[in-house]
Structure 1
């Protein structure tokens, strides 16, 4: 008679079953979810203190040039701290793109509602992206209208508004915004369009640069057509109405 504890007996415990295929994949998905939440937080936190060497939009444009055989394409980008950029440029960008920049927390709900009502009437589509949203998109994402990309943009925008002061948001934006094909940021724009340093930009030059947004490959600041000239005049009026250079002090 075999002892119950005998290795040959029927009473010994069965080997522990390995985790099932489903359990293994659920665990992996959980880790991916955690990574998807934590990685953007780390990215945004690091870039509060470290100036980005490039943006997602710059990388995508460079890859397009390589794959498209654009051998003469050059990417122009040189970081400039906000205090080394003429104040007229960030003020012009705010006047043109996001006049509620100092008050909102990443999303301008009034502008969104006005844009929705305008677009419902038909005609030329109007957007309502804030500078914070555009910073998130330019720095981390890609162009497009999918809900997935919009969701990522919203998440990065919330992180930027939570982890960065307003002055950092503005500083990064004016350094990564596109001001012409392959021309990114205030310093490259000032050099390529006007042959001068970003610190020496005049009010009209700054307004013309801001007037090309968000279609800098369609419009030129250095060779402005009627649209850019009219919009630049409108931007200068708005810049004065919001307080001009004194507006920047309210962000500190």
Structure 2
């Protein structure tokens, strides 16, 4: 038999409005006046700060000019970044900061600095390769808006000395195409900004196409076409499921793991990726990007 919950008298007493009608106030008028007083007070304070700041700038013409230049620079950077993203929606990404960095590193070390990279449009790449990287790197890619909040939450909740990565394919593309390598709050903020831009302007298919063309897939090897030609001897358009899964298996560390001579770990990871590809429903999973 259900029992009626006792009234919370302490909470009811706490909700009583202090002023009474006897004091010349109604509950509504008291709330309106008190909230109005707070909002008008905060607005007055904000206007006061802004007036003080403007007066401070007027007294220092050089600082005022520098402030104007800074605002113009911000506007120029914003317009340029949007234009850059729009252009790359239609133009192949021939090089990235990472490609340049690898080239410079190889020259500095006296090693072979030849870059293996060949651009291929999305329709000339096996959809097994597209499905493999989605299954391996970002299974929520078709549905999220650039950030996988569930993955981020899981990564933060794990008790590790070093947080595991939770970057989506969109975030990786934003970093590889527009930014430098490294870890800093500034770079992460810019990565988030470019991730939003490419999600809005490029769309999923273009993001995945760029990823498949710029991701590092071996020493001095960028893009699935170059990896397929170099390690399998044929075009990316004819990649089998097993070949595509092995390429995806080395993506976490493409200079450590090998497609041509896969370690036991790479072979296990390849099998896992193939199972995930089947579990997602095959190529139909990415058909309507």
| Partner of residue 151 from structure 1, selected from 189, 198, 213 | 189
Q: Which has the higher helix share?
A: 2
| Partner of residue 220 from structure 1, selected from 258, 269, 272 | 258
Structure showing greater relative contact order (alpha-carbon pairs closer than 8 Å, 6 or more residues apart): 1
1:122 Cα deviation (Å)?
2.0
| Partner of residue 174 from structure 2, selected from 136, 145, 150 | 136
In structure 1, C-alpha distance between the alignment counterparts of 2:94 and 2:258, rounded to whole Å: 25
Structure 1 stretches lacking a partner, 5+ long: 1-18
Task: Name the counterpart of 1:15.
Answer: none
Segment of structure 1 superposing worse, 127-136 or 54-63:
54-63
1:200 Cα deviation (Å)?
1.5
Task: Name the counterpart of 1:76.
Answer: 116
Q: Is the 8 A contact 2:228 2:234 kept in 1?
A: yes
1:24 Cα deviation (Å)?
1.9
Task: Name the counterpart of 1:235.
Answer: 273
CA RMSD across the alignment: 1.6
Q: Is the 8 A contact 2:142 2:286 kept in 1?
A: no
In structure 1, C-alpha distance between the alignment counterparts of 2:67 and 2:164, rounded to whole Å: 42
2:227 is equivalent to residue 189 of structure 1 = yes
2:168 is equivalent to residue 161 of structure 1 = no
2:101 is equivalent to residue 56 of structure 1 = no
| Partner of residue 212 from structure 2, selected from 169, 174, 177 | 174
1:71 Cα deviation (Å)?
4.4
1:53 Cα deviation (Å)?
1.5
1:123 Cα deviation (Å)?
5.8
In structure 2, C-alpha distance between the alignment counterparts of 1:30 and 1:124, rounded to whole Å: 38
| Partner of residue 106 from structure 1, selected from 146, 149, 168 | 146
- Residues 250 and 181 (structure 1 numbering): CA distance in 2 closer, same or farther, change over 3 Å? same
The CA deviation string for residues 50-80 of structure 1, in whole angstroms up to 9 with x for no partner, is: 11111121122112223x1434221111101
Higher Rg of the two aligned structures: 2
Structure 2 stretches lacking a partner, 5+ long: 1-59
In structure 2, C-alpha distance between the alignment counterparts of 1:177 and 1:249, rounded to whole Å: 21
| Partner of residue 136 from structure 2, selected from 90, 96, 109 | 96
TM-score by length of 1: 0.88
| Partner of residue 65 from structure 2, selected from 24, 36, 43 | 24
Task: Name the counterpart of 1:16.
Answer: none
- Count the aligned residue pairs: 231
TM-score by length of 2: 0.77
Runs of 4+ in 1 over 6 A off after TM superposition: none
